[in-house]
Structures are given as C-alpha cells and as structure tokens.
Structure 1
Amino acid sequence: MEVTLWGQDTTSAKPKLLDQVRIACRRLHYSPRTEKSYVFWIRRLILFHNKRHPKDMSQRDIETYLNHLATKKHVSGSTQSAALNAIAFLYREVLDQDLPGLDKLRRVKRKQNIPVVMSIDEVSATFERMKGTPRLMAELIYGTGMRISECVTLRIKDIDFDNRAVTVRAGKGNKDRVTLLPERLIPALRNHLLKVAQLHKSDLLNGNGYVPMPNALYQKYPSASCSLGWQFVFPSTMIRPWRDTGKFARWHCSPSTLRRAFREAVTQAKIHKHVGIHTLRHSFASHLLEAGTDIRTIQSLLGHRNLETTMIYTHIKPDYSKVSSPLDRMPR
C-alpha cells in the first residue's frame, strides 16, 4: 500500500487529509487566508512528528510541537495561537475526534503594541515619490482604510462612484463592510478602470476573459466570471489556469509589487520610522480621530469586531497640552 505524506492510501477514493481540511474550510465559508493558514500549520505539525497521522497523536504531542514553536522558532504569541487554532480545527471539524485537554491548552497572551502611524506630511511625501498603479493603490488604502489584501482583491462591481463608497467583500473574519471612496481619487480611478476594461476586452477576443469567483459562484452564474463587473480592479499582468474550471483566468496583482514601491518611496522620503504599507491603514484611522471623527464610525470603516481594537488609536497621540514635564519646571 502506497502512503502519502498525510498517511492516506493513494488507492482510496477518500480525499487526502489536507484536501479534507480545505473542503471543511470552504464548507464553513472560511476565508482563503484562513484556509491557507490552517493547511500550513497542519502540514508543519505532521512533518514535525515524522509524518505521523494526527489521529495517532496525543495532547502531549501537540504540546511538544507548540513548545517547539515557542522555544526553538521563537514565534510570536499570535503565531502560536494561529497554529493552535489550526490544530483544534483539524480535530474538531475534519477528524471528528475529541482530543482531551486540547481546548484547555493555555494560549499565549498577545503583546498589545501601539501601531506606528505616519504624519500627513510623511504620507504626502511618500506618495509624491510613487507613480502609476502602485501609487493609486497606496492612495486608495490610505483613503479608505482597506487592508492590502482587500485592495488587491477589490472587484470593479464593488466601487460605487455615485455614492462615493467602496464595498469590501470577505474582509478579515469573512465579513463585508462599506467604506468611503475619496472624491480626490475618482478621476484617476475612472481612468484606471478604462485601461482594465480594455485589457478585459482583449482577453475576451483571445478566448479568455475569466476571473476566479468565490464560493463556487461560477457554477450558479456561469457567465458572471467573464463579465467586466467581476474583474479585479488591479489585475495581474498574466493569466493562468483556473483549477476549478480548467479555463484560463486573470487573477489579481501581487501585493509584493506595491510593498516594494512603497518601501522605496519611504526610503527616498527619508522617513526613518518602521513603516510598511499596512501603516497607511493605521494612519487613516489616526488621522480621522484627530479630525474629530466618532470612534464608532472609525470602527465601522475599519471593520473591527470589537470597539477595544479601535480604541488603541486613542493612545497614539494623547493630549498632553495641559501637562508639563517636571524637567521643564526645574529652575535653570
């Protein structure tokens, strides 16, 4: 009998273990990022224990693996929690196996860091050193508060120019939300979408023009996957096979291009803070708060589940205008 990495008989019709994990994630409508994370950590668990099947592991085996991550790999508390979540999902939803004490494993307390933000002048100086599509994407992230993953997966149909709104689909936690569309970006965004429409028309003439769709919607709406509305706002320069249908489709662009362009612009602007493209989202929230925007409104725009998550932005620039340092009160 031939055995694979996941301990499954290749002659059996039953899906391999990691494929079962993917199927369970999609059945429960988990986001693609969550599915990818769960598969990654479950694979690491199996390899750590010399390709032993998880159904043959004990709680002690799980603890040994998590301790290895903490002491040998020195991963963060949030990463350890991600690994534990994946393992708990495996036993609960895939193996349907009760592993005593798994839910009682102590989770590492996450360190609450105050996010780094850029000033409006620093954001402006950075944008001045960017150009083309990367600049448009960076400005859109700062102007809407989107995450980079939400920006690259944005669809044309989710931009409402008339109401100056952007609908973010399947954000973190697989939740939808509506955020504002900056009026300043409308002309540039319209011009950009004209180019996307021309690219899509060229794809159709070449017998392609398809785009991947979530939750098997391509089966319910077969013609939608080649419609302009479903195309990505920031498409990839290449088309590649769409595994679910066998057709060639145009995915969204890679986030790495935007990250690289932003990093170079920050260096050129001589900004010495430890910032990345996600800093623009933090800056969006902080600058709204400085302008007097209600904290509940900011919570809605960011898509935070708990208000406590949004409240961290109130600690970035506390009001010390009426407080003087004891050093300043010392006689000279």
Structure 2
Amino acid sequence: MKKSYSIEDINAVLNGELIGTTSQLIEGPEELQKAKTHHITFIGSTKYVKYWAESKACAAIINDNLNVEPGENRALIKVKNADLAMAKILELFNPPAPEFTIDIHPTAVIHDTAKIGKGCKIGANCYVGKDVELGNGVILYPNVCVFDETIIGENTIVWSGTVIRERCIIGSHCIFHTNVSIGADGFGYRPSDDGRGLVKIPQIGNVIIGHYVEIGANSCVDRAKFSSTIIGDGCKIDNLVQIAHNSIMGRSCIMAGHSGLAGSVTLGDGVIIGGSASIKDHTTIHSGATVGAGSGVVGDVEAGKTVLGYPAQDARDMLKQWVAVRRFMKTQ
C-alpha cells in the first residue's frame, strides 16, 4: 500500500519550524529538480536555493540558516540539519524488506550442531555449518553460507551471496549486503628457497566484527595470518572495499568505495577513508584523521589530520603544490 502523509504529519516527526502550508498529500521524497507536486524535497545549502522557485515539490526541508519563501500552497520545514532530517523522512517511506513465506526454507542445509536463535529467518539454499551460533532475529537471505564455528549476534542481516568463513565472530545489528566475503584467506606469499615459485603462507586467524557494522556489496574482509582482523563497532564500509589480513579498524570509521587497507593497517576511531584511497601495510592512521579520495598513504597519519595526494601529505600543502604546478604549466 502506498504511503502518504500531510505536511503536519511530516513535521510531527521532524519537530522543525513549519513555514507556510500545503493541502497536497506527500507521497515520497525527491530531488529538487526531479520532484513532482506530491513530493517533498530538501535544501541543505545556499547553492540549491535557486532551484526552489522552479521546483514542483509541494514542500521542502531546509537548513534553518537559509532564507527561502515557501510560495503558494507550498511549505517549508526549517531544521538544524536538512540531511539528517531527510534520513528520518526516508525511514517513513522505506518500503518493507522482502518477505519470508517460511522462517527456515526446506532447501537450507543446517548442521545438527548449529544453534539457531529465536525468530531467525533462513532463506532458500543457505548453508549453516558445524557449531555455528545465530543470535535471536538473525536474517540470512537466500544463498548465504556461514561456515563452521562462526558466531553471529542478534538482529544481524546477511544478504544473498555473502560467504562468512569459519571461526568468524560477528556482532549484533550488522548489515552485510550482497556478495560480501568475510574471513577468506589473507594474501600471503613468499618466494620459495629455490627462487622458482611462491610459497603460500597459511592464514589461521579469524575476523572479528563489532556491533552495528554495515558492509557494502562485493567488499572483502580477509582473516588474519594469526590473531584477528578486527572491525570496530559502528564502522560503515562501502561497496568494493578491500580490508586485508590483520588490519584493525577502530569505532565508527568510514571507508568509501574502491578504497583498501593492506595487511596490518591500524585505524583509530572515526577515521574517514575516501574513495579509491589505498593504505600501505603496517601503517597507522590515528583517530579523527581523513584520507582524501584517490590518495596513497605510505606512512602514519597524525590524529585529526587530513591528507591528500599520492603519496599522501597534509591536504593544505598538497593543494598549494597543485596550484603552483597549474601556474607553472600556464607559463609554458
């Protein structure tokens, strides 16, 4: 059934300052320039204010520092942070997840020793191995494999195609999107004594993932050579991200798409890694630091510092270099 709300219903959720009014029922959020009359949109900065007059949206959520007039039969809701407010609206209109017609599908293969918590749902063609423990409310969508001795905390959601290898420990309320690989062998090889080949180094550790971690589609978290690869509570990892063996991420770190950590990298709390950035092995990036998109980090990064470029250095210094190079090129 299609959801719709009045502007008053919307503001009851946001508790913002309502300016103007509209009789139009709101059926969903949309971008300013794509919105129709039944949409609500949002304006988070001055650069988008100019599009409001031409937008067909009947309402907008705006930052409270912006000066905008609502117009006829249109309304504005002023809030401190339009992006965070829009997140609440998206929750209102979020369609339900795919339904399970039966809690545990008959084609699922579940080892006799596995412990399945209350309210778990296990889809078609899943595999749950020996001595696996699933907490209450865990959801495994079709074609998920969870191998021996892995523990998954309550209310964690694992989407189709994901493989969780043996001995992993997963926290509660995590989300793993499609085709995530957790606990595959770390990438470890050394030249053989005779110099005529490569010797594979066994990877006998595991992966430990905290609570409220989200990992995007086709990302990989490799198990440790020994000990554990660790992802701290609240980390958010985009699609197509590589986290190598023995890396350790603190709490609430962010890694954008195509970025990667080589082996034994350590991230402090709240570190942000931009898209396509790469971090050299045995490097430490301290709490609150930011690595710009496309950067290559080859040495430790101080707490709270922003680095950019290849090799990465202080962002201000790098930007000055780029300006100097551009000026030089123009003189040639």
* TM-score where L is the length of structure 1: 0.23
More strand by share: 2
More helix by share: 1
* TM-score where L is the length of structure 2: 0.23
Structure with the larger RCO, 1 or 2 (CA within 8 Å, 6+ apart) = 1
